[in-house]
Amino acid sequence: MSKMADEKVMGPPANGGGEDGMLAGELSSAEGRVRPLETLLRAAPLGLCVAAMAVMLRDTQTNEYGTVSYSDLGGFKYLVYANGLCAAYSLVSAFYTAVPRPATLARSWIVFLLDQVFTYLILAAGAASAELLYLAYNGDKEVTWSEACGVFGGFCRQARTSVAITFGSVLCYILLSLISSYRLFSAYDAPVPSHGSKGVEIAAFPR
């Protein structure tokens, strides 16, 4: 009787170990299915950023009123630099994601932080350029700035195209930031303070 009771008590842990193995296998399989999609999503901004940068670099117009170029406006130059940096990051991160490698806390944090940095970088460039376009189309009566797109319409149309493509990149980076943040904060538990210690130990453990 006592032997049968011991076997019943010892049974659940062995069963639980099997369930843990099945769960780990399911997570690994899900990661394998998601990786190609994430790789494509990381590669998409590469084409968008290069296209936006190329359109803006060719944005120059000359007529009887003078010559205007993207390089005359700091916001548009910032847009070119930001798209160049984000295109390079998209290429590197796409290669990094395409190669299977074991996930670690340090790697998850690095990808998460870089995604955040480049998302805000391209978002700021798009917002600053959009503000310039608004002033070019509408002017500012309070400081007696007249609209310029009536005179340099081709310049404004090309700049508008570049800004629109840039916001397509912004959307991709927002999605990537959500993916990397979900992967980081769902795979690791919050730090747990140890009992009997005065301070809080900062540590995170995989689930």
Asked if residue 169 lies in contact with residue 83, where contact means CB atoms within 8 angstroms, the answer is yes
| pLDDT at residue 6 tops 50 | no
Give the residue-averaged pLDDT of 50-65: 92
Residue 137: band (very low, low, confident or very high) from pLDDT cuts 50, 70, 90: confident
Asked if residue 159 lies in contact with residue 70, where contact means CB atoms within 8 angstroms, the answer is yes
Give the highest mean pLDDT range of 10-14, 66-70, 102-106: 66-70
Asked if residue 75 lies in contact with residue 128, where contact means CB atoms within 8 angstroms, the answer is yes
- pLDDT value, residue 117: 96
Asked if residue 59 lies in contact with residue 76, where contact means CB atoms within 8 angstroms, the answer is yes
| pLDDT at residue 160 tops 90 | yes
Which residues have a Cβ under 8 Å from the Cβ of 152 and sit 6 or more positions away? Answer: 61, 63, 65, 68, 136
| pLDDT at residue 202 tops 60 | no
**Is pTM, for the whole model, over 0.85?**
no
Domain extents for the chain? 39-185
- Report the Cα–Cα distance between both ends of the chain, in Å, rounded: 37
